[in-house]
């Protein structure tokens, strides 16, 4: 079971916005995290076994409001132009700019769902 579900319509270009809290803290799981200096990435793959280098995409996020832990990903139609289905992904973060092989500080697993468009072309 994934931590997050992202459901999108094929060939759309949404902005996805999230808020980071101390979700792993039993004492206060909803406390906000100041994400000043953090780096965020959204990675989606065809399968879990697919190497990172062969992911559909590895998209950098942007900090929206650091003190409130709010960040976003701006998708293009290239990020949603897959066959309809559910794909594995992760939202990863580092509390700095990561090195080439540095593992993330933490991550959310993602079910990345592409749904078919009702109409292929608007009139």
Q: How far apart are CA 1 and CA 34, in angstroms?
A: 27
pTM of the model: 0.91
The token duo for 63 is 């900090």
DSSP string spanning 18-79?
Answer: EE-B-TT-SS-TT-B---TT-EEEEEE-SSTTS-GGG-SEEEEPEEEEGGGTEEEEE--GGG
Selection from 4, 114, 100, 106 nearest residue 52 by Cα: 100
All residue ranges of the chain with pLDDT < 70 are 100, 120-123
pLDDT of residue 120: 65
52 CB contacts (<8 Å, ≥6 apart)? 43, 45, 58
In terms of CATH architecture, what is 4-115? Sandwich (2.60)
């Amino acid at each position: 079971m994934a931590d997050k579900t992202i459901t999108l319509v094929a060939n759309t270009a949404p902005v996805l916005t999230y808020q980071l809290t101390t979700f792993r803290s039993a004492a206060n799981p909803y406390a906000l995290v100041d994400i000043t200096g953090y780096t965020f990435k959204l990675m989606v793959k065809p399968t879990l076994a697919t190497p990172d280098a062969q992911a559909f995409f590895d998209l950098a996020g942007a900090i929206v409001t650091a003190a409130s832990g709010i960040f976003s990903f701006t998708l293009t139609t290239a990020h949603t132009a897959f066959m309809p289905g559910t794909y594995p992904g992760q939202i990863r973060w580092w509390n700095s700019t990561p090195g080439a092989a540095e593992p993330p500080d933490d991550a959310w697993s993602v079910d990345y769902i592409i749904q078919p468009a009702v109409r292929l072309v608007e009139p």
